[in-house]
Amino acid sequence: MRAKDIIFKILKDKKFHNFTEKIKCAKGAMFRMLSWLVDEFKQAPIISTASAIYRTVFDIYINFQPNFTPVEEGYLQYSLSFMQISYPFDLEKVFAKAEREEDKIMQFHEELKATIKKPVPISGEAEKEAGIISEVNGLTTVRFQLKHLKIDLLRDVDPHVFDHPDVKFFPDKWQFDLLNLINADKSVLVVAPTSAGKTFVSFFTITRMLSIISEKETPNPKAKKQTPVKKNVKGAQKKATATVQSEPETPLKCQVVFVSPNLALANQTAADVYDRYKNSASFGIMTSDYRENPYNCKILICTPEVMFSLLTSPINENWVKNLKYVIFDEIHCIGNKDLMSDNLGTVSELNYFSQAYSGIFAMITCPFLALSATIAEPEKMRLWLEEIHGTSVNLVGGKDLKIPRWTNLNKLLYVPPEQSEGDQEQSDEFGKFVRIHPISLLFDGDSSSPVDLTETELSPDEALALFDSMNTKLDKTQQQSPKFIKLTPENYFTGISSLSITRNQVFQYQIELKEYFLSLPINTQKAISSDLKGQLPKTIQVQSEESFVKDNLLPMFKALQKEKMLPAICFYDNREYCEEITEHIIKELMKKEPERERVNLQKEEVFKKTEQVSIDPVDVRFDYKKQLREINRQQLQSKLRNLEKDFINIHPDYTFTDAEKFFDAAFVYWVSRILIKLDWKSSHILLQGILRGIAVYHKGLPKPYRDLVETCFRKGKIKIVISTQALALGINVPCKTVVFFNEHRFLKPVQYHQMAGRAGRRGFDTIGYTVFMNFSYKKIQSLVLGPLQKIESSPTVDVNTVLKMLMVYDGYKDKEFALSMSKMLFHPPLSSKSTTPQEIEIRFQFSMQYLRHFNIITDEGVPCALAGLISQNPSIYPINFLLAYLISKDAFNASLYGYDQRANGGMLLEAKDRNQYTMQLLNILAYFILRVPQKSSSEDEGEGLVLPETVWNEVRRFNEEVENLKQSFNLVYSKVAPGGPDISPLLKKCAPRVEIVPPSSLNTYLIDFYKFGKVSYLVKNNNLSDNRAFNLLKDFIAILTSLYNSLRILLSAKKETISTPLLFALEELLADFKALFD
């Protein structure tokens, strides 16, 4: 605990009558902490305790001077006498009134000891950093602080307490300024590294807005109680009858929206919000999967696509005008396809995701808070946001005012046992970790590969090592230059700074140090870089064999455990391989575990142990009562007992978890969901892994299992998670170490920084680690020193967005307001390539001509009936335009001729023909939607997709009309602007044609599931993993639901006679798929 934490707690305590009493209490608490540390150091003189003494003395001195008695000053000087370091000036000048009599000092020490009620924990890792104090003999105070204090260096905080109940600490200066901007209702772009404290700012904003809303509202005691969000958080979400892309039945009322870039982060935010505020009626969530209390909440949590859909729905016109604040998390995802590859699949999905983000900023009129950790050009993005939003946007962070990480992040190379045998000092049965200094990587890549040291923050000890290396490699002339002399630590940190260096001073010091280093000749830079390699191997031979990783990953995990570097997240961007390697490690642990006497559950002593925790789902308020009635309760309890027995029998040397109360009520709740919803056996390999503290995580895994992994990891029960980048985007799973294993070319700097940011989170750890295993120096250099990818959003002008805006203008009552919202179409995207107003105009004019040509809008620009179906299904663009075209050409009726065209219901003439005609519709949809290439490795490849000839002809005709339209527009443009640029690429992106591939090249997983109704069949015969098959089927049902609702709305509005037989066939197909899927 730091001095500022104790002081803050006391200053907030209302039991004290005046400020003087508070200061007196705080000073007494700090002196008691110091006396305890002194006794600890006498018993074990290790560096971590010495560091704590040093930090505490100067915390006291900085915060309470000059209110010291002579005895107190004498005690401070007495405490420092244990530190065998040299001080820049006589301590007597600092402690002028110090009492020198030892008996009085010791009496004061004993009085302090007598008032200590319980030990105060030492900040730091005593066992990890243990070392005899003689190691620091002769160090100056500056060098001692840079080398050993690290996270314990003083931080620059605002001297005033921020008067708000949600601010329970002294905020950093940048946080204090940001909170004031939010209080003033300003729009802010925040660029701060992970672990800096951005999440706190989000919740502060929510708390503030809830307070403002509550003040303006009069409580209505008769109001109907809302469904608790708690149900949603624990996974019993109420499924929406239609996807959010369908027009809502009632307008929204919320005044604050929290936009998360993906479903996992939206769910996590909802859980965190409920846990923090415990008021379910105030919060709602709306995603493509489900919705919970979205219409009557005050704070809505959603994804960008959902938010854009809500903004463009005319029924929400008043809601759009009354919005108070919008919070955007991980805003860099607006144009970063690498980060979203695990959440979005096709190019059209990624483009629409980016367009939705851009559209939100253009259409909201309220202030916003946009948060990010990885923006390469923050000022450029701020200017773009100002332009598209139409108001001033403040920037907090960025290159001009970079915000340092809260914790230091050490980079390490893992050397396996067989490669470290020659080093007798550090060889170990589990291998070893060797520190990587970032500057040592500078010349490991290609000479042409760019490096960016501005994004690489040196820790205090790395900055000191860089100076020392330069001091040995520079010639006498360079050493005597004024710039270098100024950078000498003892010259840079002078006066009181030499006694108590702050983190911001070190941060500025390492910036100036890097600038001077880069000004040196290349040969000198190379010599320094080589010198900083230290004990790193000269070369690394990346092993391509899978056996290398499988053989060495478990020893590396054991090394992490031994060095107290757990918990850890291991990233590799391949779902199947993550599962494979996780299962391999679990099996290895079980295989190597020695045989132990099995526990007999009939023994009385075991009953006593297991009965300490109830494993009855009813006792933990289990929500699945209906399922429990259908499942044998005794069978469920038997599975839980077996799991607990397995946990008790695990040998302590073959597990990574050290949780004493593993089987608490929360664990029983989450694991019961898996046993019921997924019907897993207690012996399931992934459950056995969780009992040993290891798990796998990616988007394709069943949600009940992912929920269990997230919960257990946060509670410290799971120590190792092997994951795709699904855990990189802000999900609250803090860890101490991030591991990158098995070099792969798709890993880029922006992904590295996002993933590495999980390590050493604020409030959890004092230091973070990134470990590389089986990586070349060249690849490590490109990740650590490579520049961040510049963010580029997708162009907002295409036929999809133009139609959206036309529907907004047609549906909104306030035409002037709707017209102002359409400004998004005429702002260039955020891109490194300049987009001229002429290019935007070309895209807009062509889009209008396209929409008129296919009768989607009238000549006056008024949307026609089928416009609704197109605009409500943007995620399948351009297939949404093709389906509207096929409907307009009656292609579905021509192929589904078995449906009765009479006005008395339109049912099938004969029930026996139902499967035949429904299968025809499914073949059409399966050909165009959620395509998966066929892998002909199975013996039975099935019959393949079969499309009616009428549909084939219409698809070809649609593509021909699109191409003819582009050619005619290009011809007209060339006549109007002779000698102008080729606009064909613009038109291609503005309205792509539908790709036609041979039906035999596509996987028939949808047809096979409809026939056999089993995911296991798809796994065996269609080369799909069970997780991918599950998600594909879920997404297909969502699309079917959206298409059905779109057609139903058109029919109910009676705007036009829309294929009634198609609606009936679609309804039957949807009902069948839902029944099979459930």
CATH number at residue 1046: 1.10.3380.30
Question: Do residues 849 and 963 make contact, with C-beta atoms less than 8 angstroms apart?
Answer: no
389 plus 459 within the same structural domain:
no
In a domain, 809, yes or no: yes
Residue 143: both structure tokens together: 């060098």
CB of 318 closer than 8 Å to CB of 365: no
We report the CATH number of the domain holding residue 291 as 3.40.50.300
Task: Tell me: do 542 and 515 sit in the same domain.
Answer: no
pLDDT at 681 over 50: yes
Kindly report, residue by residue over 923-973, the tens digit of the pLDDT.
889 998 888 887 654 444 445 788 888 888 889 999 999 999 998 888 888
Domain boundary among 737, 769, 792: 792
CA distances from 97 to 54, 70, 74, 76 (A): 20, 5, 8, 11
Based on the domain organization, do 564 and 602 belong to the same domain?
no
Residue 875 is inside which H or E element, if any?
none
- CA distances 925 to 130, 477, 1011, Å, are 65, 76, 15
Q: Identify the domain boundary among 152, 181, 215.
A: 152
pLDDT at 442: 87
Whether 483 is covered by a domain: the verdict is yes
Q: What pLDDT, on the 0 to 100 scale, is given for residue 824?
A: 65
Q: Tell me whether residue 405 is in a domain.
A: no
Q: What are the φ/ψ torsions at residue 634 (nearest 5 degrees)?
A: -65, -35
In this model, does residue 769 exceed pLDDT 70?
yes
**Residue 733 has what pLDDT?**
75
If one counts every other C-beta atom within 10 angstroms of the C-beta of residue 530, the result is: 14
Tell whether 735 and 853 lie within a shared domain: no
d(CA 209, CA 950): 57
Q: Are residues 392 and 444 in the same domain?
A: no
Does the structure show a pLDDT above 50 at 240?
A: no
User: Same domain, yes or no, for 907 and 1008?
Assistant: yes
Same-domain status, 119 and 69: yes
- Assess whether the previous peptide bond of 749 is cis (omega < 30° from 0): no
Query: Which among 750, 771, 792 is the end of a domain?
Result: 792
> Is 249 among the domain residues?
yes
3-state SS, 511-543, equals HHHHHHHHCCCHHHHHHHHHHCCCCCCCCCCCC
Mean pLDDT of 68-89: 75
The residue whose two tokens read 């702050």 is 502
Contact between 274 and 280 (Cβ < 8 Å): yes
Paired residues of 132 in beta bridges: 46
Residue 16 has pLDDT above 50, yes or no: no
Return the structure tokens found at 543: 């092993």
Q: What is the pLDDT of residue 229?
A: 33
Distance CA 963, CA 971 (A): 12
- At 126 the pLDDT is 38
| Residue at token pair 């000036």 | 89
Residues 6 or more apart whose Cβ sits within 8 Å of residue 1064: 899, 906, 907
397: left (phi over 0), alpha (psi -120 to 50) or beta: left
| Residue 538 shares a structural domain with residue 453 | no
Q: Give residue 56's pLDDT.
A: 81
Q: What is the mean pLDDT of residues 848-854?
A: 92
Cα–Cα distance measured from residue 571 to residue 120, given in angstroms and rounded to the nearest whole number: 37
> What does DSSP assign to residue 635?
H
Total domains present in the chain = 6
The pLDDT assigned to 411 comes to 94
**What span, in angstroms and rounded, lies between the C-alpha atoms of 933 and 102?**
83
Instruction: Note whether 87 and 127 are same-domain residues.
Output: yes
857: domain range? Answer: 799-1077
968, part of any domain:
yes
Which uninterrupted H or E stretch holds 240? none
More confident residue, 609 or 249: 249
292-323 pLDDT, tens per residue? Answer: 888 888 889 998 888 888 888 888 888 888 88
In a domain, 566, yes or no: yes
pLDDT at 413 over 90: yes
Give the contacts of 710 (CB within 8 A, at least 6 positions apart).
268, 697, 731, 732, 733
Neighbouring residues of 961: CB distance < 8 A, sequence distance ≥ 6: 853, 854
- Given pLDDT bands bounded at 50, 70 and 90, which one contains residue 610? very low
Separation in Å, CA 185 to CA 172, 188, 369, 390: 20, 9, 10, 15
Q: Give a yes or no: residue 807 inside a domain.
A: yes
Residue 160 falls within a domain, yes or no? no
Residues 392 and 506 occupy one common structural domain: no
Same domain, 254 and 391: yes
Do 248 and 276 share a domain, yes or no?
yes
